[in-house]
Amino acid sequence: MNAAQNPTARALSRWEGEGGAPLPAALRDQFPGLVGGWHYLDSAATAQKPQAVIDAVTAALGRDYATVHRGVYARSAEMTLAFEAAREKVVGLIGGRAEDLVFTRGATEAINLVAYSYPEKGRVLLSTLEHHSNIVPWQLAGWQIDVCPLTADGRIDLDAAEAMLTPAHTIVSFAHVSNVLGSVLDVPRAVELAHRVGARLLLDGCQAVARLPVDVAALGCDFYAFSAHKLYGPTGIGALWGRAELLDAMPPWQGGGAMIDKVSFAGTTYAPPPQRFEAGTPAIVEAIGFGAAADYVRAIGLQAIHQHEAALVAELRDALRSRNDVTLFGPEESAGIVSFAMDGVHPHDLGTILDEEGVAIRAGHHCAQPLMEHLGVSATARASFGLYSDQADIAALLRGIERTRRIFG
């Protein structure tokens, strides 16, 4: 598809905004899930899908469909090429090599893979703000867990981490961007602290890859986990990037087809990474949708998306700060996410009333119950932006908050 035929390229060709100017309104029209003026502010949970991704999935499930890797007929070979091309597209988004990217069922499975397969289990350092998927796998796999506290504005306290880390720590596993507070980790310093004691750094990149430029080589991390559905792609698929020498030293954690070299009842030898960790028939269609989503985001540019969302975050935080009945959580320069609480109103009640106004937010503990305990609340309301979000979404949210106040007095 050339630039004249590509709706994303056409919209961007008309965009002359710089320095945080809004992305083109025409991009919103490319998301069928937003028709009818729905104000969707729950992109941190899952992002809406552009037509380009929907078309890629439809073609892969329909006219192009076949299995991959072992078929000798032409369509299977073509689908295999498309599947592996998707791997190239996805890893290209984070600056890695295709042979170091494992397709998983999501970031949760990616973290489980490391927790179970990393050969030198010991102590793992997590933080208070981690998502449950970066807590529970380490517990189930039998790691000894230490917990790094947060700074007053809701960032991972790397000064505390420096004091806590010892040579007994094998892994440090932190969120690149908090799914509740939007706080962004100082990755270079986290890398330096982990490597100083011989530990490896795993980053939960779910909230980062859709709104920040990511380059794993420049960041210096050892593992990077993320999912497709928060990146405007399908559900049911994600990825683990790992350093080649680390993946090569890790045994498989699931067995079956596709991950073997030779099988006999006397014993089995295994394929090299990434196939070693991709047992069974893969999520073929979802991988192709994942690749299409990576293409879509790359065409727009992560820096442009980040600037767009940063401007919306600043506007919403300013508006909420002007109210005397709202408590804001997290740092001022949070990445695409604003969590807050209204005095005397449970977040679930607020979310219900906002839904009546055509506004969708997330209300609850956000799979981060230790963080809720730290904040002294049972739940928060969370508005999270995507590249399709605009000032009309903020205005609708504020109208809904005002109506909620009138109802609750």
Q: Which residues are catalytic?
A: 367
Residue with tokens 């430029």: 213
- Quote the DSSP letter at residue 41: -
Compute CA 140 distance to the chain's CA centroid, rounded to the nearest angstrom: 22
Confirm if 110 and 240 have CB atoms less than 8 A apart: yes
Of 111, 93, 89, 80, nearest in space to 242 by CA: 111
Length of the chain as a residue count? 409
Whether the link from the prior residue into 274 is cis, omega within 30° of 0, is yes
Alpha-carbon distance of 405 to 409, in angstroms, equals 6
How far, in whole angstroms, is CA 23 from its chain's centroid? 21
SS3 156: strand
Alpha-carbon distance of 22 to 388, in angstroms, equals 10
